[in-house]
Structure 1
Amino acid sequence: MATRNIDTTNVVAGVLLLAIGAFFGLQTMGLEIGTSLRMGPGYFPMMLTILLLILGVAVLISAFKTKAGEPIGPIAWRGMLLILPAPVFFGLTVKGLGFVPALFFTALIAAGASIKMKPLTALILAVIVTIASTLIFSYGLGLPFRRFGPWLPQF
């Protein structure tokens, strides 16, 4: 009989995802969910609940399918030092710089996390992400945010 190891990390992660999903599910109690076309205030939390519960079950199941533990590889410090602060930078600068420059610099910071990313490629990627996001969120969806903020000179 083959022995299977249980990946305790995946068990903990799965239970944590299920708990967070249940928390969001409890938050939607009493809120109108609505439909996909007319979303109510409980629609997003309910979708997040469903997604987290499905993900939690999948991670929990995967914990019992592993055969042997694999050693943890080297920690990707460069990725953590650049990916984690990128959304923080965006959140702190979007009101002052505006959506376009804050997103551009956020994309540049995040692109620097990959050792394979060349500077010219990172610049092109940041420009494409900024243009696409501005077209989608500002012009397409009409979200009310300033494209260029008060910290920049007004032309």
Structure 2
Amino acid sequence: MERRRSFPDVLAGGIFILIGGAFVVGALGYELGTPLRMGPGAFPLLVGVLVAAMGLAIVIKGLIAGEVISFGPIPWRAVGVIVLAVLFFGFTVRGLGFVPTSAVTALLTTLASTRVRPLTALAVAAGLTLASTLIFVVGLQLRIPLWGPWLGF
């Protein structure tokens, strides 16, 4: 019987193990407490162990019962536009404010797909901007100005 190894599964599982291990190491710097009075390090420790265990299961699956998967071409346009959108948000949110920065970021990420029409992209960007403003600025009360000083408001 031929065994196939899935490199993407092994790689993804390894990344999960690294992230889970980082959570475990970080959690050990805090007090763990007892099972009835958990300290601040108990939850990150538990999450780290669970993530690392899932990663180990993915690695084992990739080594034992992997599938040969062809990925196809990399969508470079989408990768570039999404990276540009994240950088745009990070560099302009304080200057432009949350609303215009969110709108442009949502519009850019929506236009990363070649199948989205411009009118649909505008509608999605408007909906995402409204939802994110209600969630982050109104609901979570983040101290980010809605309109920034670069716009003169």
State the TM-score, normalized to the length of structure 1: 0.80
Distance of 1:43 and 1:90 partners within structure 2: 34
1:21-75 Cα offsets, whole Å, 9 max, x none, are 10122112233579xxxxx8658855763564255235324413224x2333111
- The 5 Å alignment of 1:94-109 reads 94-109=93-108
Q: Which runs of 5+ in 1 are unaligned?
A: 35-39
Change (3 A) 1:133 1:30: same
Distance of 2:149 and 2:31 partners within structure 1: 38
Distance of 2:27 and 2:78 partners within structure 1: 35
Q: Which residue of 1 aligns with 2:80?
A: 81
Change (3 A) 1:19 1:94: same
Aligned residues: 147
Q: Secondary structure at the match of 1:16?
A: helix
The 10-residue stretch of structure 1 (129-138 or 69-78) with the greater mean CA deviation from structure 2 = 69-78
Q: Secondary structure at the match of 1:6?
A: coil
If each structure's helix is expressed as a fraction of its own residues, which one has the higher value?
2
Q: Which runs of 5+ in 2 are unaligned?
A: 34-38
Q: Secondary structure at the match of 2:149?
A: coil
The runs of 4+ residues in structure 1 deviating greater than 6 Å are none
Q: Which residue of 1 aligns with 2:146?
A: 147
Q: Which residue of 2 aligns with 1:22?
A: 21
Distance of 1:65 and 1:92 partners within structure 2: 44
Change (3 A) 1:61 1:47: same
Change (3 A) 1:43 1:86: farther
Distance of 2:18 and 2:93 partners within structure 1: 32
Q: Secondary structure at the match of 1:84?
A: helix
Q: Which residue of 2 aligns with 1:121?
A: 120
Q: Which residue of 1 aligns with 2:4?
A: 5
Change (3 A) 1:41 1:60: same
Q: Is the 8 A contact 2:95 2:148 kept in 1?
A: yes
Measured on the aligned residues, the alpha-carbon RMSD in Å equals 2.5
Q: Which residue of 2 aligns with 1:37?
A: none
Q: Which amino acid aligns with 1:11?
A: V
Q: Which residue of 2 aligns with 1:92?
A: 91
Q: Is the 8 A contact 2:28 2:45 kept in 1?
A: no
Q: Secondary structure at the match of 2:124?
A: helix
Distance of 1:148 and 1:46 partners within structure 2: 40
